[in-house]
Amino acid sequence: MTEGHDRLVDRLRSAGRVAVAFSGGFDSVFLLSAAMEASAGDCVAVFVDLPMLSDRQRSDAVAAAEALGAQLIVAEVGWDRLPGILDNDGRRCYICKKAVYAAVREAASGPGCDLCVCGDNADDLRTHRPGRAAAEEMGIMRPLEELGIGRAEIVGKVRSLGLGCRIAKETCLLTRLPADRPVDAGVLKDIASYEEDVRRICGVDQVRFRLGDGRALVQTSAAEVPLLVGRLAELAEHFSDEGIYIDIDREGYEGLD
C-alpha cells in the first residue's frame, strides 16, 4: 500500500524546496506528507482561499496542515481574480485552477521554493479535467499522475497516518448548482449553510446539496445514506421553510466513501 508513497518521496527528494497546492483533501494530504518526508519538513503548503469554498473546507485545510506539522501559507483570491466564473459554464474549472496556481506560484516565491506541485492523481486521467490545462500552462508538476498513484492507495495511506483530524473529499460549491446557468455569489453561502444544516439534523459527515428551481437533491456516502433516510421528514420540514423540496440520493454518491 505504501509503494507509491515511497516512490513519491524519492521523486520529491531531488526536486529542491517544494510548494504544495494544498486543499486539505486526501490527494493533497498524501502529497504534502510525502513532501514533508522527502525534505525533512522543509517544504511549504499553500492553501488558496476562494470565495467558492465553505468555512468547513477552510478549517479542515488548516487542521490537516497543522496535523502534518507543515508550514502553511494562506493565499486569498477574490472574485476579481476569477473573471467569468459566476457564469458557471464549462470554463469554470479552468478559471478556478488558473487563479489557484497563479496564487500558489506567487506565494511560493517568498520562501524560495524551486517547484510547485498539485495533487492530481492517476485516476483523474480517466475523466475530463479542464483544470489540467491550467496546471500545464502554469508549470505545476503533477507527480501523482506521473507515478501512476491512484485514489485507493492515496486514501489508504492517508487514513493510516492517524492525523486525528477530518480528511474528506470536498469540492467547490459551484458544483452544487446546474451547469451553464449564471450564479449569484450569495447562493453559494446559502448552500454552505444548508449543508451544515443537513449535517446537524442527520449526523452525516459528507454532504452534497444539489440545488435547482426550488428543489434539492441531498447526497452523502453510501454508508451514511441510512442517516439521511431516517431523518427525511425532519429535513423536509426544515427546508420547507426555505421553499425547497428535498429528495435524497438513496444509492449514495460515488467518490464519497
- Per-residue pLDDT reduced to its tens digit, 79-123: 999 999 999 999 999 999 999 999 999 999 998 998 999 999 998
Q: Rounded to whole angstroms, how far apart are CA atoms 119 and 178?
A: 26
Confidence of residue 255 (pLDDT cuts 50, 70, 90): low
Domains of the chain, start order: 3-160 (3.40.50.620), 184-248 (3.30.70)
- Separation of alpha carbons 239 and 251, rounded Å: 22
Task: List, in sequence order, the alpha helices (H) in 40-173.
Answer: 55-68, 92-109, 131-138, 143-146, 151-160
pTM above 0.95, yes or no: no
For residue 1, pLDDT over 60 is answered with: no
Q: How far apart are the C-alpha atoms of 118 and 24, rounded to whole Å?
A: 12
For the cut 70, the answer to whether the pLDDT of residue 257 exceeds it is no
- Percentage of the chain beyond pLDDT 70 is 98
CA distance 16 to 19: 10
Average pLDDT over residues 65-74: 97
| Candidate from 47-61, 125-139, 160-174, 214-228 with smallest mean pLDDT | 125-139
Flag whether pLDDT at 223 surpasses 90.
yes
Q: For residue 189, what are the CA distances in angstroms to 53, 88, 211, 231?
A: 9, 16, 12, 23
**pLDDT at residue number 256:** 58
pLDDT of residue 247: 96
| pLDDT tens by residue, 140-186 | 999 999 999 999 999 999 999 999 999 988 899 999 999 899 999 99
H/E element, 185: helix 185-202
What is the pLDDT of the chain when averaged over all its residues?
A: 94
